[in-house]
Amino acid sequence: MSEYRYQLEKYRGRGTRYTCPKCRRKHTFTRYIDTYNNNIYINDNVGKCNRLDKCGYHYTPHQYFEDNPMKSDVCLFKTIGFLNKQTSKDTSSHFDTIPEWIVEGSLQRGNAHVEWLRGVFNPIDVERVVGDYQIGGTREGHAVFWQRDSEGRVRTGKIMAYDPTTGKRLKGGGSVDWVHSTMLRQGLVEEFSLRQCLYGEHLLSRYPDLAVGVVESYKTVHIASIILPQLVWCATDSLSGLTAERLSSLRGRRVVLFPDEGRGYEEWSSKISKIAHDVGFDYRISSFVEGGMYGGGADIGDIVNVEEYCPF
């Protein structure tokens, strides 16, 4: 658990200072907040009295969770993990999910990718896409793309750093990460069994009559959802993410694949017919970005003339 997760609430007027549970003086008690969970209070009595020498009351989150072990997220995760292992007979089908409070926390924060979208596209379209895909943010302003499956479970989130002005990805260390990996590093979970799903899978039932556009990247999903709303858009996360398991939710749908130029087109063309047969869907594969007109590795997001969509 990060030592910075729990912090004394910053002073924002007398309303943020409470009656001390020990000396009963009004407006002298500062509570601890949980910065991973919408800044909620740990408990009414967890905090510090400002009258250090006269009263000296200080009840820390650490002490509170020692006294109330079931209230701790770490404990809760361990219990859930234990129960899952006890009840899951077929261990190969077991996978872990991200708790909703982590997703909720990310939705309170802005991020550079959405900032860029807002600067380029019509705000109404952007808000629809941000709401549909529940694009979140980290405290550093990086985007979090949640993989929510058709049952509403969040499999993981990909964390990506963007330049808010150009919309391009920032390169270098720490610019790509996963939420389950950060939970492991922070000790929130001891192990995490990952099974990725399609990005956008939770929207398939919301738009049952639309054909499904499948692309590789998250950013392309958002751009395509704005400029081609006739389809519901999903991403495989990577070139190798085009598998029967990840596409299993597409059974019975009409599917249009938009692979990246070059290698993407070759690999997806060679794999899709068996996958479509195994899962059970009709498909077309778009060669829209083929032919070298848009450069190697281009995707349909790259060929959009963003000036055309600028509302200003």
Determine if 50 is a binding residue for Zn ion (CB under 5 A): no
Measuring CA to CA, which residue among 235, 223, 231, 236 is closest to residue 254? 231
Site string for Zn ion, 5-44 (x = CB under 5 A): ---------------x-xx---------------------
Least gap, CB of 15 to Zn ion (angstroms): 18
Identify whether the C-beta of residue 31 lies closer than 8 Å to the C-beta of residue 47. yes
Q: Which residue has the tokens 């380029």?
A: 120
Least gap, CB of 29 to Zn ion (angstroms): 6
Measuring CA to CA, which residue among 112, 165, 155 is closest to residue 137? 112
DSSP reduced 3-state for 263: helix
Measuring CA to CA, which residue among 71, 75, 113, 121 is closest to residue 224? 121
Question: Segment contacting Zn ion (CB under 5 A): 49-57, 95-103, 145-153, 294-302?
Answer: 49-57
Question: Segment contacting Zn ion (CB under 5 A): 46-54, 91-99, 148-156, 273-281?
Answer: 46-54
Give the residue with the Cβ less far from Zn ion, 61 or 136. Answer: 61
Contacts of 205 (CB under 8 A, 6+ apart): 150
DSSP letters for 195-251: ----BTGGGTTTSTTSEEEEES-HHHHHHHHHH-TTEEEEE-SSGGG--TTTTGGGT
Residues 53-82 that bind Zn ion (CB under 5 A): 55, 57
β 176-178/154-160 pair status? antiparallel
Least gap, CB of 204 to Zn ion (angstroms): 55
Which residue from 49, 112, 143, 226 is in contact with Zn ion, where contact means CB under 5 A? 49
Least gap, CB of 37 to Zn ion (angstroms): 26
Give the residue with the Cβ less far from Zn ion, 23 or 304. Answer: 23
Give CA–CA dist 66/54, Å, rounded: 26
Distances (CA, A) of 137 to 112, 123, 164, 217: 8, 18, 13, 17
Total Cβ atoms within 10 A of residue 211: 15
Give the residue with the Cβ less far from Zn ion, 58 or 251. Answer: 58
Least gap, CB of 53 to Zn ion (angstroms): 11
**Which residues are at the interface with Zn ion (CB under 5 A)?**
20, 22-23, 49, 55, 57
